[in-house]
């Protein structure tokens, strides 16, 4: 169901309406090869950079980077609401829209209600098991993580037994049909036989609530054995992990009262902060922050404090989350944590008051956080690099509403980068006017060098897009790169986000079905639709060669190893300062193991 409309209606419209016909009525298109080209309706241009793919039913402008499907085009070009676009296209296709809004909608409503009832019953089942003898190992784990009995009750934590059919049999005994049980995703059917099996097994269970207090899904933490450490229940018509946040139901009043929300990475981080009297805390559901989750937070507050883990992965996710929050015009602050620490560690060591003081004393603006990352990475060694940093940080400075705070931020930039304050202010004013070629500090040659650096960044982004396009076209390559590099090596957060979505969706029996699943997952995310349109169109271009792919993998592996060595060096230096020589020895051993692997 998409905004009250049956998915069947969306598919029927897409099967009957050609995007080339709709756009062709508004833009003069000329066919070149297997695509259509025209002047972009979204920005002024003299040379056509607006491309429409009839095969993919997508459009993309290589000038202003707008892209998407037929629905997003009508929204942006004709200024139609989604419902109006559906009605317009249904009429063009000769479809009776009421047929899709009555019987099917009511049937879906009944099924959604059944799924929620099943979730509620499952949550009770898991919770009672946790409190029974069967849940003793789960309770022991929670005790080890210092989770109190009050928190167990507040979040209704549970235990999924290490059994293939216990939940299924319980739900059947309560009168639920096997069809609705499997639709809930808590029980799945075996591929090889007419058998059913529980989806969550031998896990601590974290019920996920919507804002109305309904249990819509579950997260599960493996206690022992093989399998993913964390696992969410399967998505269905009432649950999407991209559109919900853990702890939001329990913390909604505190978030409104404090006018800010603390965003953490894990379920236990969130519970621990609530337990210590900091209930304005939420967590993502094991995925990178999405625009849907940002919109959800925006309903309750305008300020987000990011408090991700202090490791390298946490820092990368912080930068990606900041990009998402900026798109949704949410004010953001960052609290960097020491390496190896997470919010749960810190709040248990310090207690509530000292933890809140730590936040107050260490939170920094987005501009300050990015500046720290640039400087610590050694990217401010010469004048050209410092000017490049200025222009990358200026957009964050410009978002600061207070004139006084903006003035202070500009002074800080000048001080940290060892540049004249007056010249930095002049450079900022030139940036605001959109003059990206020259500035008061840079001379013509410096400007050209900096423009060349930006061009190199654009070329790298294009390469990454082509790499993802190749990975999505070849399952074996996708799985190999995921195993060797992970999926967070992309420098562009949007590309990384699309890779994560593709990983969630998985490969269908044919490429067309895979593309359909991806488009369903990002249907209402215009930013992601644009990236998807561009990458889909790039698939039609000259693909990367096997040599280019292998060379890139080698380069990324070497880069990751260098970063690990740098991290180890920082850890050793910090431990030496503390006099913790046993930990220094352990870190040196880990470094030796990494060196052996590199060889």
pLDDT tens for 82-134 read 777 888 898 888 887 766 655 555 666 678 889 999 999 999 999 999 999 99
Q: Per-residue DSSP letters for 20-66?
A: HHHHHTTS--EEETTEEEE--TTS--SS--EEEETTTTEEEETTT--
Give the percent of the chain with pLDDT over 90: 34
Q: What is the mean pLDDT of residues 255-266?
A: 91
SS3 state at 428: helix
**pLDDT at residue 24 is higher than 70:** yes
pLDDT 10s digits, 326-376: 888 888 999 998 888 899 999 999 999 999 999 999 998 888 888 888 877
Instruction: Tell me the mean pLDDT in the region 23-40.
Output: 92
pLDDT at 439: 43
pLDDT the model gives residue 278: 96
Beta carbons within 10 angstroms of residue 65's beta carbon: 15
pLDDT tens-digit map of 193-226: 678 899 999 999 999 998 778 899 999 999 998 8
Pick the CATH number of 248-362 from 3.40.50.800, 3.40.1360.10, 3.90.10.10, 3.20.20.80: 3.40.1360.10
Question: Is the predicted pLDDT of residue 458 greater than 80, yes or no?
Answer: no
For residue 450, give the nearest of 538, 506, 389, 498 by alpha carbon.
Answer: 389
Write out pLDDT tens, residues 223-253.
998 888 999 998 888 898 888 999 999 998 8
Q: What is the mean pLDDT of the chain?
A: 82
Domain 7-101 superfamily per CATH:
Zinc finger, CHC2-typedomain (3.90.580.10)
> Do 158 and 125 meet the contact criterion of CB atoms below 8 Å apart?
yes
pLDDT of 568: 60
- Quick one: pLDDT at residue 467? 86
The contacts found for 19-23 with CB under 8 angstroms, 24 or more apart, are: 19/52, 19/54, 19/57, 19/58, 19/59, 19/69, 19/70, 19/73, 20/52, 20/54, 22/70, 22/73, 22/74, 22/89, 22/92, 23/52, 23/59, 23/73
Residue 499 confidence class, pLDDT cut points 50, 70, 90? confident
- Interatomic CA distance for residues 105 and 103, integer angstroms: 6
> Is pLDDT of 449 > 50?
no
Least confident of 152-166, 194-208, 518-532: 518-532
**Is residue 41's pLDDT more than 90?**
yes
CATH topology of domain 108-239: DNA primase DNAg catalytic core, N-terminal domain (3.90.980)
Arithmetic mean of pLDDT, 170-197? 88
3-state secondary structure of 131: helix
Q: Which pLDDT value is given to residue 572?
A: 58
| pLDDT beyond 70 at 591 | no
Measured CA to CA, the distance from residue 36 to residue 406 in angstroms comes to 46
For residues 27 and 495, the model is more confident at 27
User: In 10 A of CB 234, how many CB atoms?
Assistant: 18
What is the predicted pLDDT for the residue at 454? Answer: 46
Boundaries of every domain in the chain: 7-101, 108-239, 248-362, 371-442, 450-544, 548-598
The angle subtended at Cα 223 by Cα 221 and Cα 225, nearest 5°, is 115
């Amino acid at each position: 169901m998409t905004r009250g409309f049956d998915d069947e209606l969306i598919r029927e419209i897409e099967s009957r309406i050609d995007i080339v016909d709709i756009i062709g009525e508004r833009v003069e298109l000329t066919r070149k090869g297997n695509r259509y080209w025209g002047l972009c309706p979204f920005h002024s241009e003299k040379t056509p950079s607006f491309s429409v793919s009839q095969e993919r039913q997508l459009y993309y402008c290589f000038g202003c980077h707008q892209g998407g499907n037929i629905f997003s085009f009508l929204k942006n070009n004709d200024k139609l609401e989604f419902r109006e676009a559906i009605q317009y296209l249904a009429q063009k296709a000769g479809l009776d829209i009421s047929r899709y809004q009555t019987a099917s909608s009511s049937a879906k409503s009944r099924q959604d209600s059944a799924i929620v009832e099943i979730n509620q019953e499952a949550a009770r089942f898991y919770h009672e098991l946790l409190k029974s003898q069967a849940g003793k190992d789960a309770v022991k784990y929670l005790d080890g993580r210092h989770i109190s009995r009050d928190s167990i009750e507040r979040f209704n934590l549970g235990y999924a037994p290490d059994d293939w059919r216990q939940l299924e049999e319980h739900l059947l005994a309560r009168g639920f049909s096997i069809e609705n049980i499997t639709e809930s995703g808590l029980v799945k059917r075996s591929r090889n036989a007419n058998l059913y099996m529980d989806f969550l097994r031998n896990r601590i269970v974290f019920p996920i609530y919507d804002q109305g207090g309904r249990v819509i899904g579950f997260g599960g933490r493996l206690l022992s054995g093989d399998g993913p450490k964390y696992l969410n229940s399967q998505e269905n018509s009432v649950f999407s992990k991209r559109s919900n946040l853990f702890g939001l139901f329990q913390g909604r009043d505190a978030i409104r009262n404090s006018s800010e929300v603390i965003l953490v990475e894990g379920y236990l981080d969130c519970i621990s902060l609530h337990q210590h009297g900091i209930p304005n805390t939420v967590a993502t559901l094991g995925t990178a922050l999405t625009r849907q989750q940002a919109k959800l937070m925006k309903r309750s507050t305008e300020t987000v404090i990011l408090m991700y883990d202090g490791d390298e992965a946490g820092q990368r996710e912080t930068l990606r989350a900041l990009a998402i929050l900026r798109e949704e015009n949410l004010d953001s602050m960052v609290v960097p944590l020491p390496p190896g620490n997470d919010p749960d560690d810190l709040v248990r060591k310090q207690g509530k008051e000292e933890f809140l003081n730590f936040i107050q004393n260490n939170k920094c603006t987005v501009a300050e956080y990015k500046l720290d990352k640039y400087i610590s990475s050694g990217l401010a060694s010469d004048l050209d690099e410092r000017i490049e940093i200025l222009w990358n940080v200026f957009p964050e400075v410009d978002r600061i509403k207070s004139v006084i705070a903006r003035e202070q931020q500009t002074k800080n930039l000048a001080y940290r980068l060892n540049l004249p304050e007056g010249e930095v202010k002049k450079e900022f004013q030139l940036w605001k006017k959109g003059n990206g070629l020259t500035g008061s500090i840079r001379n013509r040659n410096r400007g050209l060098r900096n423009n060349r650096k930006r061009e190199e960044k654009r070329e790298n982004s294009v390469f990454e897009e082509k790499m993802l396009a190749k990975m999505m076209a070849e399952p074996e390559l996708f799985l190999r790169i995921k195993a060797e590099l992970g999926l967070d090596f992309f420098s562009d957060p949007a590309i990384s986000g699309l890779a994560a979505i593709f990983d969630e969706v998985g490969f269908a029996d044919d490429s067309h079905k895979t593309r359909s699943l991806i488009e369903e997952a990002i249907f209402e995310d215009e930013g992601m639709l644009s990236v998807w349109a561009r990458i889909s169109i790039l698939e039609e271009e000259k693909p990367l060669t096997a040599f280019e792919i292998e060379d890139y993998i080698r380069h990324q592996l070497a880069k990751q190893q260098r970063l690990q060595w740098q991290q180890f060096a920082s850890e050793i230096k910090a431990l030496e300062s503390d006099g913790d020589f046993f930990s220094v020895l352990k870190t040196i051993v880990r470094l030796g193991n990494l060196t052996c692997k590199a060889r």
